[in-house]
């Protein structure tokens, strides 16, 4: 790379935000895995990016005059195995390491076994490569198959101090939601908004309507909240219970294996709706929220309908209940598919 090359851009962030900012930059599609992260003064780091980020908060964007490349890359390892340039072009450009499992989407990638071996060589901490092939049904059950390494896909994944036990062949886990999981802990700790505005004293009361294995339940409980968690998938529910114990928050998590609409909750300070079709459950969420409580509503929204569709759905649900609502935050979490964004809207219910 030459001095001033656009490929040598870096986004400067505070050190405590480096992990979350990296995930946000990955979700935005601008993080550059080819270069190393560099210190930028005593309290910040420079994260390599391919272009200036549009959705991630950074202190500044700088040009690195002496960028430092990482070591061996996946294309290098595939070339050593005799892959042609055309075959390497068809190899995945991104993947995630979740505990001891490399999770990768193959699409039309050739020579799957060789790709899996190369990924295991690249990530010495991993034991298994699992090809992700989508999620099915209301219970959000993943499809996947092992293409290299240990056939076991059960693991323990740790992020921001929260430990998640799971089997990636049985339950879903979205690496791109990492920053949002961290944010939900921060709102409970009072380090991010919106704050709750209820008169009740004591720990915040949270209703997690689609708890899964504890994606949001666990970090929020670890931050001090009391969480009522509903999960309809029996396998995910089993891991939810196990993970509450694993993180020593079992006394702050009340879990139900049930459709969230069948769990009676009222006066919740926060209602978390971490499901793309959460709008179908908005009437129940509004009913569960305390006056001054906050809904955190997830949706997969076409670019052309940002932010009218998700906000309109929330306002309509509040209107049906005869309650007011104020939109306090709108966030893009990650790209869901071509032209569609996974978003979160924070809405305060009167």
Q: What is the pLDDT of residues 320-331, one digit of tens each?
A: 999 999 999 999
Beta strands in 23-125 (DSSP E): 38-39, 44-48, 60-63, 96-98, 101-104
Q: List, as residue ranges, the binding site for S-adenosyl-L-methionine.
A: 174, 181, 231
Distance of CA 269 to the CA centre of its chain: 22
Predicted confidence (pLDDT) per residue in 208-228, tens digit: 999 999 999 999 999 999 999
Average pLDDT of every residue of the chain:
92
pLDDT > 60? residue 154: yes
Give percent of the chain above pLDDT 70. Answer: 97
* pLDDT value of position 4: 38
- Return the structure tokens found at 156: 């323990």
Half-sphere exposure of 195 (CA within 13 A, CB side): 7
Averaged pLDDT for residues 298-316: 97
Q: List, as residue ranges, the binding site.
A: 174, 181, 231
Task: Name the band, by pLDDT with cuts 50, 70 and 90, for residue 2.
Answer: very low
* pLDDT value of position 17: 81
* pLDDT value of position 96: 92
CA proximity to 244, closest of 206, 202, 209, 212: 212
Task: Name the band, by pLDDT with cuts 50, 70 and 90, for residue 137.
Answer: low
pLDDT > 80? residue 7: no
Confidence (pTM): 0.82
- Return the structure tokens found at 282: 């908005």
């Amino acid at each position: 790379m030459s001095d001033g090359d656009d490929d040598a851009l870096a986004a400067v962030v505070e050190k405590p935000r480096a992990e979350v900012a990296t995930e946000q930059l990955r979700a935005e599609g601008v993080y550059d895995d080819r270069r190393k992260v560099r210190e930028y003064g005593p309290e910040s780091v420079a994260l390599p990016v391919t272009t200036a980020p549009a959705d991630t908060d950074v202190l500044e964007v700088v040009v690195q005059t002496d960028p430092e490349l990482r070591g061996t890359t996946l294309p290098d390892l595939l070339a050593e195995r005799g892959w042609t340039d055309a075959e390497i072009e068809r190899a995945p450009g991104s993947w995630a390491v979740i505990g001891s499992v490399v999770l990768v989407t193959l699409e039309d990638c050739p020579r799957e076994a060789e790709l899996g071996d190369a990924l295991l060589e690249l990530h010495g901490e991993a034991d298994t490569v699992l090809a992700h092939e989508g999620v099915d049904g209301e219970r959000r059950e993943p499809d996947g198959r092992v293409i290299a390494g240990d056939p076991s896909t059960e693991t323990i994944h740790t992020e921001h101090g929260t430990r998640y036990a799971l089997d990636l062949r049985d339950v879903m886990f979205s690496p791109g939601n990492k920053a949002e999981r961290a944010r939900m802990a921060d709102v409970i700790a009072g380090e991010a908004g919106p704050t709750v505005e209820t008169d009740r004293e004591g720990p915040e009361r949270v209703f997690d309507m689609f708890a899964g294995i504890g994606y949001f339940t666990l970090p929020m409980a670890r931050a001090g909240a009391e969480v009522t968690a509903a999960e309809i998938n029996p396998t995910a529910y089993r891991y939810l219970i196990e993970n509450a114990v694993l993180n020593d928050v079992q006394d702050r998590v009340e879990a139900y294996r049930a459709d969230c609409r069948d769990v009676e909750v009222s006066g919740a300070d926060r209602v978390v709706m971490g499901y793309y079709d959460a709008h179908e459950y908005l009437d129940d969420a509004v009913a569960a929220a305390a006056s001054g409580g906050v809904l955190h509503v997830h949706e997969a929204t076409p670019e052309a309908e940002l932010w009218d569709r998700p906000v309109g759905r929330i306002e309509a649900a509040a209107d049906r209940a005869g309650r007011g609502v104020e939109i306090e935050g709108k966030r893009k979490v990650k790209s869901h598919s071509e032209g569609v964004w996974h978003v979160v809207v924070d809405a305060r219910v009167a």
